[in-house]
Amino acid sequence: MTQPLLELPKARFKPCMNSFLGALAGVLIALDDEFDMDELWGLSAWGLRTHIHRTLEPVGLLGGEWDRTCATVVRRVGYDCVAGLRNHFYSGKDLRELQFVWMANVERALGDGRPAICFGLHGPAFGIINGLDTDLEEYRVSTFLDGRKDGPINVQDVGSQSPPLIFFLIPTGPLAGYDQDHAAREALKDALDHHLGRERDAEGKARAVPADLAEGIAAYNAWSAALETGQVHPYWAIGYYAGYYAEARSAAATWLRRLAGRDIFAAQRPWLNRTALHLEHEVESFGKLAELFPLREPQTLEQPARRTEASACLRAARAEHIAGMEELAEAFIHLYNE
* Residue 40 within a domain: no
Q: Is residue 160 located within the same domain as residue 194?
A: no
pLDDT of residue 336: 57
Q: Is residue 162 located within the same domain as residue 198?
A: no
From the list 335, 235, 337, the residue with the least C-alpha distance to 290 is 235
* Residue 314 within a domain: yes
pLDDT of residue 206: 79
* Residue 254 within a domain: yes
C-alpha span between 292 and 312 (Å, rounded): 12
C-alpha span between 28 and 196 (Å, rounded): 32
C-alpha span between 227 and 223 (Å, rounded): 7
What secondary structure does DSSP assign to 264-276, as a single string? GGGGGHHHHHHHH
Residues 6+ apart with CB under 8 A from 195: 48, 216, 217, 325
C-alpha span between 189 and 183 (Å, rounded): 10
Contact predicate 160/120, CB 8 Å: yes
Q: Is residue 106 located within the same domain as residue 213?
A: no
Q: Is the pLDDT of residue 170 over 80?
A: yes
Q: Is residue 149 located within the same domain as residue 204?
A: no
* Residue 58 within a domain: no
Q: Is residue 259 located within the same domain as residue 154?
A: no
* Residue 45 within a domain: no
Domain span at 184: 180-336
Distances (CA, A) of 85 to 62, 97, 153, 277: 14, 14, 19, 37
pLDDT of residue 15: 97
From the list 19, 12, 11, 33, the residue with the least C-alpha distance to 114 is 11
For residue range 188-209, what is the model confidence (pLDDT) as tens digits?
999 999 998 888 777 778 788 8
* Residue 64 within a domain: no
C-alpha span between 155 and 61 (Å, rounded): 26
pLDDT of residue 121: 95
Domain total of the chain: 2
For residue range 94-142, what is the model confidence (pLDDT) as tens digits?
999 999 999 999 999 999 999 999 999 999 999 999 999 999 999 999 9
CATH of the domain at 20: 3.90.70
Distances (CA, A) of 272 to 38, 75, 106: 15, 23, 40
3-state DSSP assignment of residue 159: coil
* Residue 49 within a domain: no
Contact predicate 169/70, CB 8 Å: yes
pLDDT of residue 117: 98
Q: Is residue 92 located within the same domain as residue 16?
A: yes
**Buried residues in 65-88 as b, exposed as e (16+ CB within 10 A):** ebbebbbbbbbbbbbebebbbbee
